[in-house]
Amino acid sequence: MMDGLLAVEGGLKSATGELFNEIPDRIDDAFILVPLGYAAGTEWSIALGWAAMGGSVLTAYVRALGASLTGKHDFCGPMAKPHRMFTVTMGCLGMLMLDLMQVTWPLLTWTIAVINAGIVITVWRRVSHLAKVLHQRPS
């Protein structure tokens, strides 16, 4: 996230910046969301982890498609990349606290479920925004 922020806000964009920003972000999604599902330890959470990874790619795809059609990126959430990573971080910190208190609760399963729900809302919002912009264009 920091590399993209520095490039945009610091005026350090390059011709290949978007390419080399997107590819590692999609790899990050896979290496974080899928293991989160496995860490929760149930078949349901594993399926949710894989679904979140696929949904995160879809979220990025809709944003990139919108940018190719309109020239503008739509980073709306509620589960854009920064929001997903914040939710994962809070879920992991919450699990640490529960473990220290010796409380058993399926927080990681709930975390990955919230991420999936947020991804569905995010994709719907981005597609809706894109459709609205495209309909406002003169034919």
Residue 7 is predicted with a pLDDT of 67
**How far does Cα 44 stand from its chain's mean position?**
20
Contact between 116 and 55 under an 8 Å Cβ cutoff? The reply is yes
Q: Is residue 88 part of a domain?
A: yes
Q: Is residue 93 part of a domain?
A: yes
Q: Is residue 139 part of a domain?
A: no
For residue 55, give Cα distances in angstroms to 62, 75, 101, 119. Answer: 10, 15, 33, 6
pLDDT digits (tens, 9 = 90+) for 6-65: 666 677 777 887 777 889 899 999 999 999 999 999 999 999 999 999 999 999 999 999
Q: Is residue 22 part of a domain?
A: no
Q: Is residue 94 part of a domain?
A: yes
The pTM for the full model equals 0.90
**DSSP for 56-80, written as a single string:** HHHHHHHHHHHHHHHS------SSS
Other C-beta atoms closer than 10 Å to the C-beta of 8 total: 13
Q: Is residue 99 part of a domain?
A: yes
Residue 18 is predicted with a pLDDT of 78
As a whole number of angstroms, the distance between CA 127 and CA 134 comes to: 10
Q: Is residue 104 part of a domain?
A: yes
Residue 3 is predicted with a pLDDT of 64
Q: Is residue 54 part of a domain?
A: no
The two structure tokens encoding residue 138:
């003169």
As a whole number of angstroms, the distance between CA 3 and CA 76 comes to: 19
Domain count of the chain? 1
Is 5 a residue whose pLDDT tops 80? no
104 is in which domain, residue-wise?
Answer: 77-126
